[in-house]
């Protein structure tokens, strides 16, 4: 329980947000995405083709090459859905192209549609589809099917990951089980749990999640 609380505490900004904050300013963009495979973020650099998808072996490149990442961030990405359409597109950007989000190209708008939602912030169409499958396979939900990868206008339930706390929590628990987080938590492996949830065991992420976990342990004693 403490490890779960540590993870969702950070994922939701202290249980305040069940949807990724859509307004990233320059400092936040640099901190989260300021890497050379996000070249189109920077003034003076332009993606070769925003209708293209990269693969795990070839990233979508900028015409001018690789920025130093000290350049100014383009205004169109500040507090804009365009940021998510770019950095969450295809499998190109997240983890340098090594993590498939199942999204289309930047111009598909999948990035801003399938940004982080829920207590464990699902990101990417592929994850939304996988959680839908896990939810619908559970006999308990036989009369309560969910299609989180579809909009309400298409018979889907994407917004419920943000607006229905019971649904959001249950979906997060399916994700936790799917990613086998209990085996890491049982060994008090905060880095392992963080990697399974976020796909990264960055020291700062592990520290932040561990801090909340330890506070939860004190409360739950």
φ, ψ of residue 161 in degrees (nearest 5):
-65, -20
Least-confidence region, from 51-60, 94-103, 198-207: 51-60
> Does the structure show a pLDDT above 70 at 60?
no
CA distance 93 to 201: 17
Domain segments of the chain as ranges: 2-19+116-220, 26-112
In this prediction, residue 57 carries a pLDDT of 47
> How many Cα atoms occupy the beta-carbon half-sphere of 130 within 13 Å?
17
Residue 122 three-state SS: strand
Helix axes 203-220, 2-11, angle to 10 degrees: 130
- Long-range CB contacts (within 8 A, 24+) of 155-160: 158/113, 158/117, 158/128
pLDDT of residue 93: 45
Start-end of H helices in the chain: 2-11, 26-33, 81-87, 110-113, 125-137, 160-163, 165-178, 181-186, 190-198, 203-220
Bigger pLDDT: 75 vs 86: 75
Say how far apart CA 56 and CA 46 lie, in whole Å: 21
């Amino acid at each position: 329980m403490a490890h779960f609380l540590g993870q969702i505490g950070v994922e939701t900004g202290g249980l305040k947000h069940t949807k990724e904050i859509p307004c990233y300013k320059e400092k936040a963009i640099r901190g989260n995405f300021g890497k050379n495979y996000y070249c189109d973020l920077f003034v003076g650099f332009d993606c070769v083709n925003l209708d293209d998808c990269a693969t795990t072996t070839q990233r979508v490149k900028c015409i001018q090459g690789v920025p130093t990442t000290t350049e100014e961030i383009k205004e169109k990405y500040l507090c804009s859905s365009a940021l998510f359409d770019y950095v969450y597109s295809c499998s190109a950007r997240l983890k340098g192209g090594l993590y498939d989000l199942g999204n289309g190209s930047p111009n598909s708008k999948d990035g801003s549609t399938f940004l982080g939602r829920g207590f464990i912030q699902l990101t990417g169409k592929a994850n939304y589809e996988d959680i839908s499958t896990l939810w619908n396979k559970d006999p308990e939900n036989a009369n309560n099917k969910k299609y989180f990868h579809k909009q309400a206008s298409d018979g889907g339930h994407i917004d419920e990951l943000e607006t229905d706390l019971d649904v959001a929590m249950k979906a997060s628990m399916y994700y936790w089980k799917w990613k086998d987080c209990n085996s890491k938590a049982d060994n008090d492996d905060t880095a392992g749990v963080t990697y399974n949830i976020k796909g990264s065991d960055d020291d700062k992420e592990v520290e932040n999640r561990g801090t909340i976990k330890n506070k939860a342990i004190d409360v739950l004693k």
